[in-house]
Each structure stands twice: as C-alpha cells, then as structure tokens.
Amino acid sequence: MVRRYEKGAVQSPLGLHACAPYHCVMKPQTPSGAPIGAIVENWTPPSLPAWLTRTGRFAALERLDPDAHAALLYRAFAGADTLWDYMPDGPFSSAAQFHRWVRDIAAREEQVFYAIRNLQTGNWEGIASYLRIDPQAGSIEVGNISFSPTLQQTPAATEAIFLMMQWVFEAGYRRFEWKCNALNTPSRRAAQRFGFSFEGVFRQAVVVKGRNRDTAWFAVIDKEWPALKEAYAAWLAPANFDTAGQQRERLGDMTGLVRAASDPSL
C-alpha cells in the first residue's frame, strides 16, 4: 500500500492507494506572531555518498572508472551526438577525447559519478552523478545523466534512478533535486515520470557553451519517499510486464499520485 499523508485516497490499477500530497499543516510562530518553519526534530546531517556498487534486477551502478568504462561507454554513445545538446560538455570527436573527459569528471571531489550497466544486455550504457551535495541542509542533486540510446526508456534506466534515490533517502537526506535546461522537454518529462515535483524555472541561471540557460527545478522530499518507493517497487515487479516485456501500468501514473506539483509545460 502506498502510504499517504492526507485524505482523498484513490486506487490505481495495480492496487496502489494514494491521496493528496503531503503538506505540513503546522504553522509555528515567533512571539510577535510571524510565521516560521517547523522544527526539524532529531536532525543529524547525513553522510557523503560512499563508493558502493548498487545492483538491482535490471541495472547496476559502479564508480566511474576511465580505464574500466570509458571505451565501452564511448561505443554505447557512438553516433548519438544529440545526447550532448543540453549537456555542459560533448559531443566528443574521438575515443581519446572522451577518455580524457571521463578521467576528468571521475576525479572531481565535489561530485560522485557512476557508470550504469544494463543487466539485460550486460553492457555499460550510461552515466549519472550526485552533485551539489549539502549534508548540512540534507540536500543532494542527481545530474550529468547521460543515457545511451540502448539504455533510454528501459527498465534499467528507471531502476538506475531508483537506486540513486533509494540511497539518498535511506542515508537520511531530506531533499533530492533534479535540474535541467528549461528547453530540454525530454528531461522535464523524465523528472516528472520519476516522481520529482516541479518547483519552477530560474531565468538566466547559467551560461552553457556560450548560450543562456534557464533552469527548470524539480525535487522529491523525504516525506514523499515511502510512497514513491512502493510505486517503483510495483512498476519494477515482474507482474507489471507482459511476456513481451511491455509494461502493464505506467510509472508516471503511479508517481503522479505522489507528486506535489506537475510541470505546466508538459
């Protein structure tokens, strides 16, 4: 059962129960009557991400290693230069250039990069990272998501995001962010499908490859995680796929019961 926090339960085709998104109803005030935020009880900043291999039914995540992964990932990305349209780097003209890039990003101390293996093909087919890691605030972002054409729209791609989200909230973070170029409609659609709630657009946020970038913000917070975890478990379960491997129920329909807000552009 998907646990919810307010009234208004509805039931999905797989039997998941849900209702209106969580909202804090407490309205603490200062002695003068000014509203202030609720106290975060028993708060302990979580740890930084550890280099642990994470393995599911469809996907495995391993610390990005240029020697182990660069050549295989370059092969997976070959011929798909549009993957880099909204990314700060790429496309890459040679395997050597790509290897140097993987070497550089894998060495970053402020970000944690993973290579993604599609267990259905046995191949390394994607990259993703944790960034903007702020344990004191309990906030962390997923980004630098680069899925090869063979990884896109597969259970492995979905499970990779799930495995990263699972670690975030089990480690004790309060907030998991997704940000993308506001013009990148596929990324905005993916964020919403994965259960991230739309929070707005920061205009003229950065300059990327010499061009302006407005940034769309999405996030999941800890109170939404129990319901999202059950939605992912239901979607990834064998019962949700027919004999041809086609999904019976869409993940977006289930996460939509949990999200606090939808992207008006979709």
- Whether cis (ω within 30° of 0) applies to the bond prior to 88 is no
In a domain, 30, yes or no: no
**180 token code pair:** 């993308």
- Alpha-carbon gap, residue 181 to 9, rounded angstroms: 34
Lowest average pLDDT, out of 16-25, 98-107, 134-143, goes to 16-25
H helix or E strand, kind and range, residue 165: helix 155-170
What number is the average pLDDT over the span 58-78? 98
H helix or E strand, kind and range, residue 54: strand 54-55
Q: What value does the mean pLDDT of the chain take?
A: 91
Report pLDDT digits (tens) over 114-144: 999 999 999 999 999 999 999 999 999 999 9
> What does the DSSP assignment read for 66-89?
HHHHHHHHHHHHTT-GGGGTTSSS
Task: Give the model's pLDDT for residue 172.
Answer: 97
Among residues 192, 197, 196, which one has the least CA distance to residue 252?
Answer: 192
- Alpha-carbon gap, residue 75 to 196, rounded angstroms: 31
In a domain, 132, yes or no: yes
Residue 10 has, within 13 A of its CA and on its CB side, a CA count of 11
Structurally, the chain folds into a number of domains equal to 1
Report pLDDT digits (tens) over 180-219: 999 999 999 999 999 999 999 999 999 999 999 999 999 9
In a domain, 190, yes or no: yes
The CATH number covering residue 160 comes to 3.40.630.30
Report pLDDT digits (tens) over 218-254: 999 999 999 999 999 999 999 999 999 999 999 999 9
H helix or E strand, kind and range, residue 186: helix 185-193
In a domain, 41, yes or no: no
Domain ranges, residue 159: 10-19+48-255
In a domain, 217, yes or no: yes
Task: Give the model's pLDDT for residue 4.
Answer: 38
Task: Give the model's pLDDT for residue 216.
Answer: 98
Among residues 148, 99, 111, 154, which one has the least CA distance to residue 127?
Answer: 148
In a domain, 234, yes or no: yes
In a domain, 191, yes or no: yes
Q: Are 161 and 155 in contact (CB under 8 A)?
A: no
Q: Are 58 and 118 in contact (CB under 8 A)?
A: yes
Q: What is the pTM of this model?
A: 0.88
H helix or E strand, kind and range, residue 95: helix 95-106
Question: Residue 30 — very low, low, confident or very high, per pLDDT cuts 50/70/90?
Answer: confident
- Alpha-carbon gap, residue 115 to 148, rounded angstroms: 12
In a domain, 246, yes or no: yes
- Alpha-carbon gap, residue 64 to 72, rounded angstroms: 12
Any idea what the Cα angle at residue 157 is, between residues 78 and 190, rounded to 5°?
100
Residue 72 has pLDDT above 60, yes or no: yes
DSSP secondary structure code for residue 196 in this structure: P
Task: Give the model's pLDDT for residue 27.
Answer: 61
Q: How far is CA 145 from CA 13, 14, 148, 179, 240, in A?
A: 31, 29, 10, 11, 26
CA 111 to chain centre: 15
